[in-house]
Chains A and B, each alone.
Chain A
Amino acid sequence: MDIQLKKGLLDVCVLAVINEQDSYGYQIIKDISACIEISESTLYPILKRLEMGFCLSTYSREHNGRLRKYYRITDIGKQRIRDFHEEWKELEQIHKFILQEEKK
């Protein structure tokens, strides 16, 4: 898939995963991998970008004698998912247009 397109989609995928419940790096990768391949080094900048954009907040919690960082969606993050749904409708329109043009 086009790398730019995939990049934008992954942001929303991460938000969708933590919208279910607060999650941590390993689990996020596991959840997203069910649909689209994502590596640790791809996830890190996404999380950082989303945090900088106030789409998610973070906190650490003890787990088995070590700290694990959790990510929690914010209202801005939830809005971002809603925006994505709207944008997707526009994309569908564009796709429809492309199909029509091909038939001509």
Chain B
Amino acid sequence: MNKELYIKRLRLLIRALPNGERETVVDFYREMIDDKIENGETQEQAVAGLGDVNALAQKILMENPNRKPRDTQSVISIALASFCGVFIVAAIVIFIYSLMTVPVNMTGSAQSSTEQIGKMEKKIVTSPVDGVTSIVINAENKDVVLSQSTGDTVNITYFTDNTQSYTVTTENGEMKLVNKDHASHGSFYLFPEHGDHTSIIISVPQSYNGAISANTGNGDIVLTQIKVSKLDLKSSNGDIVLKAVTSPELILDTSNGDITGSICGKEDDYTIQTGTSNGECSPRSRSGGSKKLTADTSNADINIEFTN
């Protein structure tokens, strides 16, 4: 089998993965084949070295928890049905359904509220700012929006229906949200963007001086008037936008999204490390400041300015 055919088959076989993840996987194996060829193997040898494409796809799907979760659940349900009858299956389906809907584990003084908006549930988790030393957002594909709040609580707002799961925990000062967008029925293929459009919104009071880290696959990360001790943001295919952000340590990383915006402070105060492989970059790297700015992108532009 030649390279293009192998890649094409692989992409088809792992189509159940989210788009971003699928392309990352395909890029990885394409690069492997290219490097093997460059090191003297023939196209046939390089492809054969990766093994049977069906077996490879199987392995990739097994390792990826983000693929259609209901598949395995329905398999389990069918197996149980043949043993235990309809009653137990019903109980298990209810149990699974309860797992699918937003587990929120909270300790300490965090509180949660729910509001029904059409088919979506709007959830707000609040925690007094005094107890929070770091905020961690791990979103699969959603936009993450951070801005200043007027009160004295950290608020995390998100929207959910039964096609995705959210877990919010507050433990030892860390307030953490993990989001997974599950595929739902056949609509996953027809509307791959289904359920991905709603942002995760975090508002942080002015008095907050902890760390914030956020990670998303295809979403943007936007911060407005935030003051933090350390900022660590990563998006694979989305943009990172800072608007009047104050922090002595910023780490910003994207593969294909722009990094733009403004940081409050003087450029001279920062040791700057910026890099892009295929885009434009401002400011340039410099050393000497006690504060740190690291911005990295592979294929997009960096444009950050300093304001007072």
- Which A residues are within 8 Å of any B CB, using their own CB? 24-27, 39-41, 44-45, 54, 57-62, 64, 66-69
Residue B115 CB within 8 A of the other chain: no
Given contacts A57-B253, A59-B277, contact A25 B298 (CB under 8 A): no
Number of interface residues of B (CB under 8 A): 27
Determine whether the beta carbon of A62 is less than 8 Å from that of B277: yes
Question: How many Cβ-Cβ contacts under 8 Å join chain A to chain B?
Answer: 57
Residue B220 CB within 8 A of the other chain: no
A39 CB, nearest partner CB in chain B, Å:
8
B36 CB, nearest partner CB in chain A, Å:
7
A54 CB, nearest partner CB in chain B, Å:
8
Determine whether the beta carbon of A57 is less than 8 Å from that of B36: no
Determine whether the beta carbon of A26 is less than 8 Å from that of B31: yes
A94 CB, nearest partner CB in chain B, Å:
30
Which residue of B34, B51, B60, B299 is within 8 Å of A60 (Cβ)?
B299
- Which B residues are within 8 Å of any A CB, using their own CB? 25, 27-29, 31-32, 34-36, 38-39, 49-51, 56, 59-60, 63, 232, 253, 255, 275, 277-278, 296, 298-299
Which residues of chain A have C-beta atoms less than 8 A from B275's C-beta? 59
Determine whether the beta carbon of A40 is less than 8 Å from that of B278: no
Which residues of chain B have C-beta atoms less than 8 A from A57's C-beta? 253, 296
Those 10 A-B pairs whose CB atoms lie nearest each other, nearest first: A26-B35, A60-B298, A45-B63, A61-B277, A40-B32, A41-B59, A60-B277, A59-B298, A44-B28, A25-B32
A88 CB, nearest partner CB in chain B, Å:
27
Which residues of chain A have C-beta atoms less than 8 A from B27's C-beta? 67, 69
Cross-chain pairs A/B with CB under 8 angstroms, 25 sampled:
A25-B28, A25-B32, A25-B35, A26-B32, A26-B39, A40-B29, A40-B32, A41-B50, A41-B56, A41-B59, A44-B25, A44-B28, A57-B296, A59-B296, A59-B298, A60-B255, A60-B299, A61-B277, A62-B277, A62-B278, A64-B38, A67-B31, A67-B298, A69-B27, A69-B31
Given contacts A25-B31, A59-B277, A60-B299, contact A41 B39 (CB under 8 A): no
Which residue of A40, A45, A62 is within 8 Å of B50 (Cβ)?
A40
Besides the contacts A25-B31, A45-B63, what 7 more A-B pairs have beta carbons closer than 8 Å?
A40-B28, A44-B28, A60-B255, A61-B277, A66-B31, A66-B34, A68-B31
